[in-house]
Amino acid sequence: MEDTQNIARRKSLDALFAIIGLLALLVGLITLLALLVDLAADGAARLSWQFFTSYPSRFAAQAGILSAWVGTTLVMLVTAATAVPLGVAAGVYLEEYAPKNWLTALIEINIANLAGVPSIVYGLMALGLFVYQLHLGQSVLTAGLTLALLILPIVIVATRESIRAVPGSIREAAYALGATKWQTVRDHVLPYSTGGILTGVIIALSRAIGETAPLITIGALTFIAFLPNPPITSAFPFLSFEWLMSPFTVMPIQMFNWISRPQREFHLNAAAAGLVLMVMTLAMNGLAIYLRYRFRKRIKW
């Protein structure tokens, strides 16, 4: 009789927890939906080809986000190219190769602490290191490296957690067949953990794409009416890296510039830019879900 009551009580607690979790999920979804609806109601009328292909202007009806979305794309390209290889490599080393001693424990504590440091601190550090010491200037490269440092702890933590989720029996089976440590990691551990790593990477990039404080600190422009040099040229070797040293602006800074003006027309432009930024972020998260599904399906087969 007592066992039956305990089972019934635990089932009731499980049902209560499921209801609370569902309510928490609905709060997040409803908040996101309300934000999107509000942005769409204010800014949807401004979304047009002219809005995407025009530079900022002192006239709201003529202003666009061309320099902002191009700058955001280039900065995120540098951020991903820097943070993803370093973060994944560091996570693999700490989880698979690093000895378990006081130094490793100290590194792990610092990585966990760095993940919670305010972004403005990274901006101040980047201003002193990249701008003043390395003389990289107020450039796309400086911005990309700054955001890479910001999300690097997140990528490392996500990589380690994904690797930990791989069953130890897979490693043991690989060793039993004569595989080396690197062969085991390359051919078994990383393929099984790629889905989780990609999810963590996209979440980190989604945070970086909306950052404003560190980029303002290193000198991002609030008004720019030109584009960086193109990365692809018509002359050999057909690639140019001059764009790395070009001045820039990004979507959040452009939105801040517009929303700080008193005219309502600029506020509508900011709402339209915010809607575009939200769509970009949701698209990145959707890409993460798709890639995770593809990798898991390929492993299953």
pLDDT at 301: 47
Same-domain pairing of 2 and 91:
no
Clarify whether residues 127 and 11 are in a common domain: no
Judgement on whether residues 197 and 244 belong to the same structural domain of the protein: yes
252/140 same-domain check: yes
Whether residues 188 and 117 fall in one domain: yes
End-to-end CA distance of the chain: 47
Output the pLDDT for position 299: 62
Task: Give yes or no: residues 35 and 109 share one domain.
Answer: no
* CATH value at residue 93: 1.10.3720.10
Q: Distance of CA 196 to CAs 75, 156, 158, 160, Å?
A: 24, 12, 7, 10
Nearest by Cα to 201 from 138, 130, 295, 67: 295
Domain count, the chain: 2
The answer to whether residues 24 and 135 belong to one domain is no
pLDDT of 298 above 70: no
Residue 255 DSSP SS3: helix
Same domain? For 291 and 142 the reply is yes
Residues 140, 18: one domain? no
pLDDT (average), residues 88-103: 87
Is there a contact between 62 and 54 (Cβ–Cβ < 8 Å)?
Answer: yes
Instruction: Give yes or no: residues 34 and 101 share one domain.
Output: no
Q: 211-257: per-residue pLDDT in tens?
A: 888 888 887 777 777 777 777 777 677 677 777 888 888 888 888 88
189-215 core/surface letters (b: 16 or more CB in 10 A; e: else): bbebbbbbbbbbbbbbbbebbbbbebb
159 and 191 together in one domain: yes
78 neighbors 148 (Cβ within 8 angstroms): yes
CA distances from 9 to 23, 202, 283 (A): 21, 40, 43
pTM of this structure: 0.84
Same domain, 108 and 62: yes
**Buried-state track 259-285, b at ≥16 Cβ within 10 A, e below 16:** eeeeeeebbbbbbbbbbbbbebbeebe
Instruction: Judge whether residue 3 has pLDDT over 70.
Output: no
300: pLDDT strictly greater than 70: no
Cα distance between residue 152 and residue 159, in whole Å:
11
* Domain span at 3: 1-46
Q: Is the pLDDT of residue 22 over 60?
A: yes
